[in-house]
Structure 1
Amino acid sequence: MRRSRTWARLTAAIGAAVVVFAAGCGPGGAGGRTLTVWLMSGPVPDDTVNAIGKDFEAAHPGVKVDYQVQQWDGIGQKLTTALTRTSGGPDIIELGTTQDAQYTSQGALQDLTGSVGELNGPQWLPTLKESGAYGGKQYGVPFYAASRVVVYRTDLFRRAGITAPPASADEWLADLAKLKALPGVDPLYLPGQSWYALLSFIWDHGGDLAHNEGGTWRSTVNTPEAKAGFAFYKQLVDTSGTTAAKDTDEATPQQSDVIAKGDTASFIGFGSDLAEVIASNPSLKDKFGAFPIPSRTAGKTAPVLEAGSILAIPANSKNADLAKDWLKIETSAKYQAQLAATDSVPGTSTDTSALRATPVGRAMVAASKDGKVTPVTPRWTAVEADNPLKSALTAYLTGKKSLDQAVSDADSAITKTLTSSS
């Protein structure tokens, strides 16, 4: 799943250059070979990538590793071109969670089903494992994930008389009403097209996005349960009186830029969003807490989209053996612990102690226990490209369409895309 600028800016140092490691082969003799690794600009820090390279070098003397950082913008076409080459393409690629099925269905990725055990499969994050599977086989290895949580200003909550995070959706609404009474404060920055947040509300009310009927995926958005999720979204907007526009998402403008101005009490996002806020306005450091999106069922958290990435080996790779060895190192407990220390949920580990060291991290760990993914179908990337859910939200929130009409139109559009052959 493609991510916004918030992921990229945390590792600008990675994206600034292509890092080349000297590495080599083991007893099998792979001298003179080059392993090409494509990772996306994201939350994986330089020191982790360098350490993986050094460990690979120690185990494979003589093999050269060409590590290349890619940008999310335009990556689809670049991957399509690379995966159809007869030679010279990448041997390991990072994919968003909605991309694996698309390339797997085209025969572009290697079947890793037989290697799951040696790649620490028992420790895999279930949601990312699901994203990397297709047709009963495994093609992707979990890399890292992140769950959106509610990040809030502890000082503004106290000023409004709120002494503890809400334990239910109703308490959340009540707290927003209290915050609304504070002069000059935006209780919840929630743009009208934050469809990732919408998914939590749809799932929390028992709805879903689509289901598979005998091999054909169809939308399930036009149901009472899914519509209840839309209705709750509108309750949040109306109760908070958010200043956010109803026809844009959290990337336009970047919500971290808005939060950094200092008059927003809460927002839905990642730890990386908060890092950007603090970088822009250091005076806000230590003024934020976080809690999982509350469920309508008191004491529970709402299901949350597990955004993240998986790693795969292209079918045209000439170095699949080396690629698997690199993946063995990356999925080891040593490096998964380092991922947990970067405000990411490690894809292959149950040890989240480092992640729980921060308020956002603790909230993410709690939220991830009920993580979900979008439908694992090759056509879902096409759904996101046009995204009828965004259009439906704007039409409903602005009053241009009734709830029933907005959702019905979105449902029809999603089904049309899912059943299209192109």
Structure 2
Amino acid sequence: MKRQLIAAVGVAAMVVGVAACGSSSKSSDDAGSYKGKTVTMWLMSGSAPQAWQDGVKADFEAQYPGAKLNIQIQPWDGIGQKVNTALSDGSVDVLEVGNTQTSGYASTGGLMDLTSDKADLGGNDWPANLNASSVFEGKQYAAPWYFSNRVVIYNKALWTKAGIAAPPTTLDEFYGDLDKLKASGVANPIYLPGQEWYTYFGLIAGDGGTIAKQNGSQWVGNLESPEAKAAFATYQKLQSYSTAPKDKDEATPAQSTLFPQGTIASMIGLGWEAPAPKDMPADNVGYFPIPGQTADKPSGVFLGGSNLAAAADTKNPTLAKGLLKIALSDKYEGMMASAGLIPNKTSLDSLANTPFAQAALKGAAVGATTPNLPNWSTVENPPAPIKEFMTAVLQGADYDTAAKQYDTQITSLLNQKQ
């Protein structure tokens, strides 16, 4: 899988206001009136394989004779402002949006309300946890497209040398294996930086908690909850087996560049972070879900990914919805699954048959997305209070005191005026 695809997963651009200029019914592109019309579709760099793009284009133009599909690939850097502009000036009809960005664009009126079209798009088969980020204030403003989540990536040679025959299935087994790896002389039984908040988020979700919660009319930080505290204890214990910096995230330095050096026994990462065969033989790289308390349920994970949406001001609403139906069909979702991603229907999971995807699917079943709030990106972006909180506690701050302090910051960010 391409690095850009998964690197973009879970990275939210700052969403600013979009002034909605009209409604999705401002033109009538009924059957027979497609000649000369062009639908512009924006996809993000690294997301859709070329075969997917070519197939969708061919099927769309065959189904709507005379219409053309113009697929444009956009970089993730700076995409927030670019999307806002395009939704305002009508230069895009259908677009990929990160699942942590969707509510921001929906809240400003930039996305078409697809509530009445959900069933026709295949929505009756979308799992609730995959569809959650496409819904804002009870309405369907996008459709889940693809997802991925973190798993444990491990160096089989180091595990074998330590006398470990099979991957762990519970956290206690995992701790025991990390002890064996440490005893065998491995400096990093697991490489886990202090600010890898996506993993912490997943641990909270796996314990039935949330990183923020609704309190009356407000959303508030929830680090003070028992679930968040218990999840951090797990994170802290795992991090104790690592020499990774407590004040950096997984990209600083990039753990994907460190793992192929052969001195790290395991890390928690996405598929693109696993070493390429040229850097480490594929048969020496293994994958397993982040273990949970019991063997029948892995730890929760952050579900990163992208949704597909239509612009509220598209001049071709029928064509835009038709394109969504094609792109979201089992045929093309199957292509995404075959690329190692998690599709939007569990009925297609068997097609996600890479070693990474098989491990990721087990965690995805208990995965969650971030709170579906327009202001959520302000929590992820600098000063990134969750990251600062994690570093503070790992460096010795009292958990309860720090949680109260940073919950106040999170609450302020979530409720500030747009």
- When normalised by structure 2's length, the TM-score is 0.90
Q: 1:312 deviation in Å?
A: 0.7
Q: Which runs of 5+ in 2 are unaligned?
A: 10-28
CA distance in 2, matches of 1:334, 1:349: 14
Q: 1:6 deviation in Å?
A: 6.0
Query: For the structure 1 residues 418 and 4, does the alpha-carbon distance in structure 2 shift closer, same or farther, using more than 3 Å as the test?
Result: farther
Superposed counterparts of 1:278-357, under 5 Å: 278=276, 281=279, 283-348=280-345, 350-355=347-352, 357=353
Tell me the equivalent position of 1:17.
Answer: none
Q: 1:184 deviation in Å?
A: 4.5
Tell me the equivalent position of 2:212.
Answer: 210
CA distance in 1, matches of 2:180, 2:393: 25
Superposed counterparts of 1:7-406, under 5 Å: 7=6, 27-85=31-89, 87=90, 89-238=91-240, 240=241, 242-274=242-274, 277-278=275-276, 281=279, 283-348=280-345, 350-355=347-352, 357-386=353-382, 387-399=384-396, 401-406=397-402
Tell me the equivalent position of 1:16.
Answer: none
Moved more, 344-353 or 407-416: 344-353
Name the aligned partner's letter for residue 142 of structure 1. P
CA distance in 2, matches of 1:266, 1:110: 43
Query: For the structure 1 residues 94 and 216, does the alpha-carbon distance in structure 2 shift closer, same or farther, using more than 3 Å as the test?
Result: same
Greater than 3 Å deviation, 4+ residue runs:
3-6
CA RMSD in angstroms comes to 2.1
Q: 1:404 deviation in Å?
A: 2.3
Q: Which runs of 5+ in 1 are unaligned?
A: 11-24
CA distance in 2, matches of 1:42, 1:279: 20
Deviations 1:381-411 (A, max 9, x none): 1111132110111112223x22223222221
CA distance in 2, matches of 1:170, 1:349: 29
Name the aligned partner's letter for residue 84 of structure 2. T
Query: For the structure 1 residues 8 and 200, does the alpha-carbon distance in structure 2 shift closer, same or farther, using more than 3 Å as the test?
Result: closer
Equivalent residues of 1:303, 1:371 under 8 A apart: yes
Name the aligned partner's letter for residue 6 of structure 2. W
Q: 1:243 deviation in Å?
A: 2.6
Query: For the structure 1 residues 267 and 34, does the alpha-carbon distance in structure 2 shift closer, same or farther, using more than 3 Å as the test?
Result: same
Query: For the structure 1 residues 46 and 6, does the alpha-carbon distance in structure 2 shift closer, same or farther, using more than 3 Å as the test?
Result: closer
Deviations 1:273-302 (A, max 9, x none): 22xx11550x43211221111112343211
Percent same amino acid among aligned pairs? Answer: 41
CA distance in 2, matches of 1:5, 1:30: 34
Query: For the structure 1 residues 280 and 398, does the alpha-carbon distance in structure 2 shift closer, same or farther, using more than 3 Å as the test?
Result: farther
Name the aligned partner's letter for residue 335 of structure 2. Q
Q: Which structure exhibits the higher relative contact order, with contacts defined as CA atoms closer than 8 Å and separated by 6 or more residues?
A: 2
Name the aligned partner's letter for residue 411 of structure 1. D
Q: 1:129 deviation in Å?
A: 1.2
Query: For the structure 1 residues 324 and 35, does the alpha-carbon distance in structure 2 shift closer, same or farther, using more than 3 Å as the test?
Result: same
Equivalent residues of 1:192, 1:245 under 8 A apart: yes
